[in-house]
Amino acid sequence: MKIQNTYPSILILQIIISFSSIIAILWSLLLNSNTIPFVLLLILAIFIFVCIYISKDKVNIYNIDKNTCVLSIFVVWFLLIIMGSIPFYILFPNESIRDIFFLTTTLVTTNGIWTNIENFNSSAFLIWQSILQWLGGVVTIIVGTFFVEMVLSKKNISKDYFSIENVRIIFLLYLSLTLIFIFIFRLLINDLNKAIHISMALISTSNAFTSDGNIKIEYNNLTKLFMIFTMVIGSLSINLHYKSFSHGFLNYFKNKNLKIMFIFMFLFTLFLSLNIFNNIKMPSVDKFIDTSFLITSFITTTGLIPEKLYNYGLLNNIILFLTILTLIGGSISSTSGGLKASRIIYIYKYIYVELFRLVNPRKIMAKEKISNIDETSQIFLFCILYLISIPILSAILSIFGLNFEHSFLIIISTITNSGIGLLEIANLNYYPNSTLEVILLSIVLLFGRIEIFLVMILISAIFWKKI
């Protein structure tokens, strides 16, 4: 395999960055904000695109193999972080490159704002913050749809599976959903600028949309309900959205994973409302909506917290429960983090098949119940690596003067890309102060986006021998 095979992925990334830069320029002009950082980024993206396009004759032909997929994933994320940090470096010339790099990494991984930079609530910063996490959501979906699942699958890769047309469809669908949500939030909160910030944050299951980086929110019940709906849409597979847009919205309700998720969300909400939060003096409707918002926020790895519920001081009692929710996450090929609920369901089905075979060795199961069983070994290995890495990374982080409990929460927050919601509930005011901490947490953030299984493939000797 040649490194040049990753060029088409880089070209697609430059097109998406160029589009994002144009949006940032237009948005800045409307707010009379600084456009220079985004103009420079646009020029750089066009320059890289032209250079690669000229150097490769047939960029429309993509030589797909699993090594190319793995390498493309890392190249794309590395370039996205480097190029995404350029506007911040111009906006904050006195800040260290380390802090700018870490801030960019937290945003593109849809983790949210995690920074110690002061006076960061300028219009230009808020514009690029929203676009950057939205951009991270786009890249997450494209990478997850075309690359991650290719690598985890044992099936042969179809040459026409990855194409510019397929990427275009996904991008336009993601953009269309964002525009629809912007329009509805504009009607709900009567502020177009805030509506754009909220929509871009929630569709990418990120929690950064306020001017001060606050993740505790308080809106009326109707707005909260639609925010819940937006977070759910952001955590669903883009393939399900495409199927529903193409063949009717009833396809949403036919999806088994969505049905299971709604059942669990309702049961968890009912349980917390009637038991843990039973003594909270709130109207029943408000309590139910706030509890549902909290559960949806963490199960979709968004990490937002209802302010009224937070002020009662009971959330610390269920922090372990919320931690488990973030580990579950949303669907494959979505903007959410975590293990992915659909993979957990798939492994459950696999365990059920194996137990059935063990208990009933002479019975034959229906063919559809044992289909795709070959993929389970890799998915199971991924889940094991994911879970084992958490205590290992927590132990490494505790070297920097943190106790293991705090390190555990920090690692969970970063590897699930759920932001500082768990840290806020635990009253843990933490920011990486050393370069080694920044490097470690940046790697963990990328683990949550890139998939640990792919990292293991990248560092293997067999992988590099084939390049």
User: Which pLDDT does position 332 carry in this prediction?
Assistant: 80
- Residues 366-417 have pLDDT tens digits of 554 544 555 666 777 778 888 899 999 999 999 998 899 999 999 999 999 9
Instruction: Locate the domains of the chain by residue range.
Output: 3-209, 341-415+432-465
The answer to whether the beta carbons of residues 300 and 232 sit under 8 Å apart is: yes
56 vs 165, higher pLDDT: 165
| pLDDT tier for residue 72 given thresholds of 50, 70 and 90 | confident
The answer to whether the beta carbons of residues 111 and 419 sit under 8 Å apart is: yes
164 vs 62, higher pLDDT: 164
For the residues 47-61, what does the mean pLDDT come to?
Answer: 71
Separation of alpha carbons 418 and 107, rounded Å: 11
Least confident among 25-29, 232-236, 265-269, 340-344 = 340-344
User: Which pLDDT does position 20 carry in this prediction?
Assistant: 93
User: Which pLDDT does position 57 carry in this prediction?
Assistant: 55
pTM, 2 dp: 0.88
> In 3D, which of 233, 111, 236, 140 has the Cα closest to residue 184?
233
**Residue 256, class by beta-carbon neighbours within 10 Å (0-12 exposed, 13-18 middle, 19+ buried)?**
exposed
Separation of alpha carbons 390 and 381, rounded Å: 15
- Residues 302-324 have pLDDT tens digits of 999 999 888 888 888 889 889 98
**61 has a pLDDT exceeding 50:** no
User: Which pLDDT does position 144 carry in this prediction?
Assistant: 77
For the residues 19-23, what does the mean pLDDT come to?
Answer: 94
Q: Is the dihedral of CA 303, 41, 125, 130 positive or negative?
A: negative
Average pLDDT over the chain reads: 83
Q: Which residue has the tokens 């669990």?
A: 264
